[in-house]
Structure 1
């Protein structure tokens, strides 16, 4: 009887031949996939708590539900958990850090006083792990954000505090990029908005534009740092009005030639970001994606392999946008094992990219250019049942990561050996 590895290889050979009959080179698709990094988000590992130890609630429309045992409470624990997650995921990837995840020691600086020195541990670790780093200012969970306004605040002193925070974060991102030889994408999202209908929508947006101009005033080598801005439809406490709307940030990104961040959970439930990618990249230099899964609202559920995930990946491949797109994840679920959440979400994102790279795009375009929409639709439907699974299993096997559900066994073992021993964790799961 053949071994499990042999069965994976045999199934792959059959799938490879089927894709070849449609003009698709599976080996070439996997080779391209190896070059696409996904930026895992650190905040899945500790429920967006960070290491300021301030005890402030998240606010800003953010909420984490669940109390699964064993969450990370120190930088070392978080890095340990991340290493476990990376060991289950094929490819070489990145890490996305928020400003509250610095190593601050006994004296925790205020947000406008943080610097690269508070992230040297992360940079050294990233070098060891051969990871790139991305960064985010943290404009929430702070007394000066308690009223729901930061960069658009009517009080100039409050605005200046957050401007200084944004400026400091760009310098941190640039330091990371210079040290690691790959630019950090420093992404700005703010919670600013109002629960009820405002009388003046204009002034906060004017203030926000001025504040962002001040944050971005100092030129930074794009080989070290790339600036991105992120929109949102609404949040808890900003149900009626969000200052940084999609239209605001689209105009800002185009006029200032910044990256625009599209978060899959930040739009109306009937909107999808896959349909926005080609429009946005017509006018902005590069795109940042925060791939998430909203369930009736921006609830940041773990990414599953659904149709929209595939459409996002397909749009990047069909449009030739992979070189201009930075793919990050953004979800946080404390109701399940946090490492499993990382593994599930990231493996699904990579799997969707593989499916898109295996799509017979040339044949679909040929039908479309000929006006043969019948054949186009027929082939699009046939694609849905092509043998992606055997190619995915082979890709994982070649990458030296668990095939199929085997990764979950490793998570359970780590849970028993490490997570249940953490302070405050129940002895029995």
Structure 2
């Protein structure tokens, strides 16, 4: 305890000194931490079990989704997954959300995707209430026999198309029930894997069918106070290398014309393309934005989020443009090659740290310098700020939130691996 007290004193001293440096540029660090605490990151449940889900555990992944690695200890049932999430959230500062896919229903009932109801997720809702968490949701339009040929909502067979329409309608009702029960909006994100491996003759017809399917799904009145609809594009995937029905242009047009949010996934664009430069353009015209923070490596490989340049640029765009109140931030990676809980902790802590670094910039001062045409000072100041002691602020934020400081969280994860994960 004495050592902990000394450590806290050191953290407090470093924090006070760092505050003085930032205050020279008019930054109120205490206020920054209050703003940071209000941001909820949505942790994706599928990192915990390699996207297996619980409705049909024997079904192989499909729809261009693949998890590499065989690190032991993944969750095998909802109870284990919730326990793992609790351990994860204990190592991350702030109050957050958990993002569920439809295949993570917690029920003994045999039920197909089109017949899912809120009752199949009651245990998740009760758990979220106990933990003080919000929930987000996703229809699962993959890993199902009715998606084996790579098409769902744009399928040429009306029977198959109607199955997926029914599933997506059911998903919105489930999301609305989450929002009502938990007193905060549930973001429902629609992504489908539809596309062709090789170049199609007819690009238009599948997009017409997708548009019609979405219109049918959204025709059902759902309270926007409790549910927020988002649509997610993709450039290409496994099995849809040449043509994806739900392209970026398709969903931009659809969302703007229907008043929906757009989801930008950091890995769903060209390998040399970034999303940070797109955010201000979308939010100039669209009302809300959903982010899937991920790390692509040459393609949509969904690596664990690191503190790279693009993550920092995404955070800066959100902070500099004052977009945080219109943006829903979720994670999307599934790495089976390392400890599943460590992956969550690393990715989430990095995302929060990036937002903190962005908030610790003297934005109004930098904007005025730019407006004055003093690009020399702009560059010099931005570069010098990179070595300012934001780490001291982060350590204090973690300590005052009762979570481990710096890499000490890894001790908790390794102990949990010995006590829990290794016995699965």
TM-score range, shorter chain: over 0.9
Which residue matches 1:387?
389
Which residue matches 2:323?
321
Which residue matches 2:119?
117
| Secondary structure of the corresponding residue to residue 239 of structure 1 | coil
Alpha-carbon separation, structure 2, partners of 1:128 and 1:193: 41
CA deviation digits over 1:19-40, x for unaligned, max 9?
Answer: 1111111111111000000000
Alpha-carbon separation, structure 2, partners of 1:148 and 1:177: 32
Q: Root-mean-square deviation (CA), in Å?
A: 0.9
Which residue matches 2:9?
6
Alpha-carbon separation, structure 1, partners of 2:16 and 2:228: 41
Alpha-carbon separation, structure 2, partners of 1:383 and 1:280: 28
Shift in Å, 1:54: 4.4
CA deviation digits over 1:148-189, x for unaligned, max 9?
Answer: 000000011111000000000000000000000001000000
Alpha-carbon separation, structure 2, partners of 1:73 and 1:37: 27
- TM (normalized to structure 2)? 0.98
- TM (normalized to structure 1)? 0.97
Which residue matches 1:101?
104
Alpha-carbon separation, structure 2, partners of 1:192 and 1:181: 34
Which residue matches 1:23?
26
Aligned pairs (5 A) from 1:15-414: 15-105=18-108, 107-414=109-416
| Secondary structure of the corresponding residue to residue 342 of structure 2 | helix
| Secondary structure of the corresponding residue to residue 405 of structure 1 | helix
Shift in Å, 1:284: 1.3
Alpha-carbon separation, structure 1, partners of 2:59 and 2:341: 25
Q: Unpaired segments of 5 or more residues in structure 1?
A: 423-429
Q: Unpaired segments of 5 or more residues in structure 2?
A: none
Question: Aligned pair count?
Answer: 421
Which stretch has the larger CA shift, 148-157 or 55-64?
55-64
Contact 2:56/2:103, CA 8 A, preserved across alignment:
no
Alpha-carbon separation, structure 2, partners of 1:403 and 1:331: 24
Alpha-carbon separation, structure 2, partners of 1:379 and 1:159: 55
Shift in Å, 1:108: 2.1
| Secondary structure of the corresponding residue to residue 228 of structure 1 | strand
Shift in Å, 1:53: 2.7
